[in-house]
Structure 1
Amino acid sequence: MLQKHLQKAADSLESALYVVATPIGNLADITLRALAVLQRADLVCAEDTRVTARLLAAYGIQAKLLSVREHNERQMAEKIVSALSDGLIVAQVSDAGTPAVCDPGARLAEHVRAAGYKVVPVPGASAVMAALSAAGVTESDFYFNGFLPPKTTERSKLFAAWQAADYPVVMFETPHRIADTLADMAAAFPERRLTLARELTKTFETFLCGTVNDIQTALREDANQMRGEIVLILYPAAREKTSELSDATLHVLRILADELPTKQAAALASQITGEGKKALYEAALVLKQR
């Protein structure tokens, strides 16, 4: 059955640049479609050819590897366009996860599309979604910041901007900077909830949850928790409960709730009035019931 689906995926391929997501740790997380593309590709553009060669070897795939990194991405784009003009199948991979998301790939995809050739996503493992799915975040919207700035001054400016955020913020951090980052967070958000997810899908996968100070304590007690790739999820600021919404706010909400779905009405009313989305959502439900 697996071979049938693999063959079907391979048969559907045509000349294009395929942006292929690869496992972020556990090799079993690769998709059948990704394997089909990598098997059929005439060229595989890799962030690090050595890393990609190990992945391909694990699945018995032989492919022509081409190094396409951040420093040569623009120059190599012309070579890829030339390959596509000859009707070849080209795959683009990063060392782990999805190319062009905190990794090289965006410039290549942009250049290929501008030249009139297809760019096809082949989705797969994501550190962001993996961390969110297991962290217990209930909000449907979130902000992905990528890697945090290396300097305290720049980080502190970001943290100040997130003081009143009513959405979770997802960010990446490196082992050698995590202690300094948590110290800056503790100064900005001493009681804010935080999840630290590390080594996702790997043998030593760990989730640490609590206040920023709790996470700091856990890392001081076990230095191993500072190793590996790290995803941080900063939870929304707790909003003070108000006994009632103003008449002006309810008037805005009533107009929006008459025309829009409840969730959308609450979100838009929040942008207009500055009130919390949760309180507005609950009020909108009451208004619609009436």
Structure 2
Amino acid sequence: MNEQSSYSDSMEGTLYLIPTPIGNLEDMTFRAVRMLKEVDIVAAEDTRQTRKLFNHFEIDTSLVSYHEHNKRKAGDSLIEQMKAGKQVALVSDAGMPAISDPGQDLVQEALKERLKVIALPGANAALTSLIASGLSTERFEFIGFLPRQNKQRQEFLEQIKGNPTTLIFYESPHRLKEALEAMHKALGNRKISISRELTKKFEEYQRGTIEEAIEWSKTGTVKGEFCLVVEGNQNKEEDDQWWDSLTTLQHVNHYIELGMSSKDAIKQVAKERNIQKRLVYAEYHS
């Protein structure tokens, strides 16, 4: 085990994960502002966006770029500076860093070097949407963005459709309608809550069923980033056994017809039937 005493007196470098507002600047915490002023370097997903935040809170800390396209080179530099004793803060454009952005890679590299990683609490679109959705908050799973390609998206939704926990997705406006239609096909007509422009002037929620959401997406205001909170499978025991009447071969062919490769279909069938993959493979190829 790698033990970390976050606030022990030491001169070693530290990586601070600092949330930023998802819309309303008043959601910035006093501690977050203080830490951004005290650290030596702030690594930002988009320095232009973060500069607006800095100007508002009168922060003049050195700002460097860290994003998907330069994460290896920039990450190596940040790690070396932390090893030399520098205090580094990581921020995303909005919300919690390392959630659906390359910050997770920097965290992993810092921990490999046994550097301290300290996370601050703050704004998060997924949890904000969840608690206002009206759906169960006892158990939930954050999915993030679905695959962009239709085949991979449908395949992924088929794999998670038996999950009884509330599901949380992010989606962009130009793929919203396609995502909703894919959900309806794979998950059925479940309850859903769709939020956009959270904490901003035009914050909006749509709550209802997936069918109603599809109709709304044809005429509603589809702008800004969306968070979709979807009801979990309420008939898990029944759904888990939907294939009881099928032979193993028919079970595999069902997933192939949905667009899976034979390799992935065999793997999925073995998982659902709780048998060894080689047995499914042998029956499929016999």
| The two structures share one fold, judged by TM-score above 0.5 | yes
Residue by residue over 1:157-193, the C-alpha shift from the partner in whole angstroms, topping out at 9 and shown as x without a partner, is 1222233321111111110100111122232344211
Give 1:237 deviation, angstroms: 2.5
The match for 1:29 among 13, 27, 30 is 27
Match of 1:206 in 2: 204
Q: What TM-score results when the alignment is normalised by the length of structure 1? A: 0.74
Aligned to 2:259: none
Distance 1:201 1:13 in 2: 38
Q: Which structure is richer in relative contact order (CA contacts within 8 A, separation 6 or more)?
A: 2
More displaced, 41-50 or 187-196? Answer: 187-196
Work out the CA distance in 2 between the residues paired with 1:103 and 1:22.
14
TM-score, normalised via structure 2 length: 0.75
Match of 1:237 in 2: 233
The corresponding residue for 2:157 is: 159
Name which of 146, 159, 163 aligns with 1:148.
146
Give the counterpart letter for 1:151 in structure 2.
Answer: Q
Q: Is the 8 A contact 1:13 1:37 kept in 2?
A: no
Tell me whether 1:228 sits opposite 2:224 in the alignment: yes
Percent identity, please: 35
Q: Equivalent residue of 1:236, what SS? A: coil
How far apart are the structure 2 equivalents of 1:16 and 1:240?
Answer: 44
Letter in 2 for 1:86: A
Of 17, 40, 46, 1:42 maps to: 40
Structure 2 unaligned runs (5+)?
A: 1-6, 239-286
Q: Distance in 1 between matches of 2:200 and 2:84?
A: 40
Cα offset for 1:123? 1.9
1:62 alignment partner, one of 56, 60, 64: 60
* Residues 107 and 114 (structure 1), Cα distance of their counterparts in 2 relative to 1, 3 Å cut: same
Answer with 147-156 or 68-77: which moved more: 68-77
Q: Is the 8 A contact 1:21 1:98 kept in 2?
A: yes
Post-superposition offset of 1:203:
1.1
1:84-103 → structure 2 map (5 Å cutoff):
84-103=82-101
Distance of aligned partners of 1:177 and 1:112 in 2 relative to their CA distance in 1, 3 Å threshold: same
Q: 1:204 to 1:106 in 2, by over 3 A?
A: same
Q: CA RMSD in A?
A: 2.4
Q: Aligned ranges for residues 119-268 of structure 1 at < 5 Å?
A: 119-222=117-220, 224=221, 226-239=222-235
Q: More deviation in 197-206 or 213-222?
A: 213-222
1:100 & 1:180 partners in 2: Cα distance?
Answer: 26
